[in-house]
Chains A and B, each alone.
Chain A
Amino acid sequence: MAPSRGLARLLPRPAISNTGTYSRTMSFARRAYSSFAEQLANPANRVQSYISRSRDPFVNLSIEDYILRASPPDSTVLFLYTNRPCVVIGRNQNPWSEVNLGILQAATSRGTTAKETEPPAIGDVHLVRRRSGGGAVFHDEGNLNWSITCPRTEFTRDKHAEMVVRALRKIGIERARVNERHDIVLDQGHERHPSDPQDTHRTSYTVDEGGPRPLKVSGSAYKLTRGRALHHATTLLASPNLHVIPQYLHSPARKSIQAKGVESVSSPVANIGLDVEMFQKRLQEEFSGMYAHQGTTTTVQTVGEEHLKIPEIRKGYNELKTDDWMWSQTPQFNIAFEGPARSEIDINVHHGIIKTLETKGGSFPDDMLHELQTALVGQKLQDIGDWSQCLQSRIEPWHSDYGIIADRLETLLPVPQFERP
């Protein structure tokens, strides 16, 4: 992994100051982030443990990606973090079909401030596209994210989900097991049957057919690089927002969109009902125990926003926040909806750009179709902003039928603008 090569560049220059202008806090912060980079890349640290104090999903995912890329090739690293409310979609997902984009911005959209108190009433919810595969999930402060970076040769999709199940069972969550999708579920069987307590794929309450469906409490995704594998997962411990999660993950456009890429598999979810801090500690202990044969785990180091000073982390953070990554990374898709005069409007989008716009059936006039095509084909979705304003500024003379189409597009294909750093 040649950490020494990269390290020299990412370490800050020593704080040389003979004028005494260097503040104490500044040099402390520098020490903190340089020591993180040093500790992480040190080949002697074969078992490492980190926790983030940041609640920013972009920061946490960027630190995690840095761990994947900068940790020694044979090391195993645990990283724990919780995010403020956000929806995180998989690398190859379609945000328009997976997420109810219209309710993400509680207080800012459409210039109203009243929505903050209306359901779902949890304020702004950020949208994030992660680098790993898999489906869409909702995060909040009651959800603990754990991630393990380990050598590819040691990696299996279940190995660390099993570790988490062992930690859960040790604190009395005996219904927890790993399912066939590599997720962690709580079995809901009514009767207790004998089972092997060491079997992390079966509990005393596992029901083979029929019976109550297990509830999902943790979902996994993976990113594989050359010699390394990242497994990260959610863990619903005490989310106050369970009742609104389906609202965020159910899009009004799902039935109108035919997309390439990865569709989420929706599952009923539950809270495990554990205190986040307590479970963090138990998980850190389970991890250290599991890898004790490989070496002593480093003292848990806290990381946070100050580590954006590490250029690689800042770069990853900036990339995650770009419109290109959020919107144009979306795999090719078609959206079809009812237009004026009983027509169906069919739009194809590839690399975030409208490639074709056609109508089917009905009696939609050719000249209007041509106006729409001229206005929209070649357009990058992420640059549209407001559909009505966009169309009105490009089509002359205006017709109320364009307004109908603009309203449909605003519902089905909105591009919410989040504040940028």
Chain B
Amino acid sequence: MAARFSVARAARQLTSSAARPQAPRACPWQKASSQQPRLFTVSAQVKEKKYTEDHEWIEASADGKTFTLGISEYAAKALGDVVYVELPEVDLEVSSGEAIGAVESVKSASDILSPIGGTVTEVNDALQEKPGNLNKDPEGDSWIAKIAVTGEPEGKLMTKAEYTAFTEDA
């Protein structure tokens, strides 16, 4: 079974039959995987900000070598008041579909998934101090992590317009 399980952020959610297989794990994003990083440049399709069905967004840097990951405004609203953000450690290697962190809000723990494989180069430490900022600006200052990509994104990625339609349908 692929080592990926997916988790949603928002209350309204599709129940697609294309849901992913899952693997139980306690705290995967603090354990380094043995996979070696490869140099990779992300393709044009994520240069524009894209959204996942799990309510994360990713946006590539100008050179296409790293991307920034966060959760959508829709997700942040659905979660309620965020009291803690579990951030990955820098240098963590993550496969696409794997959890790279988690958010706690109102006694609920929800995982944050990466739609793309790579190595964590930077985390947004400000969220340690002020987790509530995730509710205020989830698609701007309150990004979660930056990742040097080692592969193409997997799973469905949507443009802003497609994502808006997706959340309205749900």
- Interface residues, chain A, CB within 8 Å of chain B? 1-2, 5-6, 9, 62, 65-66, 69-70, 73-74, 90-92, 131-135, 151-153, 155, 157, 182, 220-227, 260-262, 312, 315-316, 319-320, 322, 324-325, 328-329, 331-332, 351
**CB proximity to A under 8 Å, residues B14-50:** 14-17, 19-27, 30-31
A332 touches B108 (CB 8 A): no
Residue of A nearest to B170 (CB): A153
A69 touches B108 (CB 8 A): no
B13 touches A152 (CB 8 A): yes
Task: Output the least CB separation between B122 and chain A (Å).
Answer: 16
A222 touches B84 (CB 8 A): no
Stretch binding the partner chain, chosen from B2-10, B66-74, B146-154, B156-164: B2-10
A153 touches B12 (CB 8 A): yes
Judge whether B83 is part of the interface by a CB distance below 8 angstroms: yes
Residue of B nearest to A313 (CB): B24
> Known contacts A157-B106, A223-B108, A224-B7; is A325 also within 8 Å of B26 by CB?
yes
A residues within 8 A CB of B12? 152-153
Residue of B nearest to A183 (CB): B107
A351 touches B89 (CB 8 A): yes
Task: Output the least CB separation between A17 and chain B (Å).
Answer: 28
B residues within 8 A CB of A133? 104-109
A111 vs B105: C-alpha distance when bound (angstroms): 42
A-B complex: 9 closest residue pairs judged by Cβ atoms: A319-B26, A134-B107, A222-B108, A226-B6, A133-B109, A224-B110, A133-B104, A316-B24, A225-B7
A residues within 8 A CB of B93? none
A261 vs B7: C-alpha distance when bound (angstroms): 21
Instruction: Supply 19 further A-B pairs (C-beta < 8 A) apart from A220-B107, A227-B8, A316-B26.
Output: A1-B19, A5-B21, A6-B22, A66-B24, A91-B109, A92-B104, A133-B105, A133-B108, A155-B11, A223-B108, A223-B110, A224-B7, A224-B8, A225-B110, A226-B5, A227-B15, A260-B84, A260-B128, A328-B30
Residue of B nearest to A74 (CB): B15
The total of chain B residues at the interface (CB under 8 A) is: 42
Count of chain A to chain B residue pairs whose CB atoms are closer than 8 Å in the complex:
137
Judge whether B59 is part of the interface by a CB distance below 8 angstroms: no
Interface SS of chain B: helix, strand, loop or mixed?
loop
**CB proximity to A under 8 Å, residues B87-146:** 89, 102, 104-111, 128-129
Contact of B11 among A70, A73, A153 (CB under 8 A): A153
- Interface residues, chain B, CB within 8 Å of chain A? 1, 5-17, 19-27, 30-31, 54, 83-84, 86, 89, 102, 104-111, 128-129, 170
B residues within 8 A CB of A316? 24-26
A127 vs B116: C-alpha distance when bound (angstroms): 36
A91 touches B102 (CB 8 A): yes
B15 touches A2 (CB 8 A): no
B107 touches A222 (CB 8 A): yes
9 A-B contact pairs sorted by A residue (CB < 8 Å): A9-B1, A69-B22, A133-B107, A152-B11, A222-B107, A316-B26, A319-B27, A322-B26, A328-B30
A residues within 8 A CB of B11? 152-153, 155
Residue of B nearest to A155 (CB): B11
Task: Output the least CB separation between B73 and chain A (Å).
Answer: 18
Residue of A nearest to B128 (CB): A260
Task: Output the least CB separation between A220 and chain B (Å).
Answer: 6
A residues within 8 A CB of B16? 227
Residue of B nearest to A151 (CB): B15
B27 touches A262 (CB 8 A): no
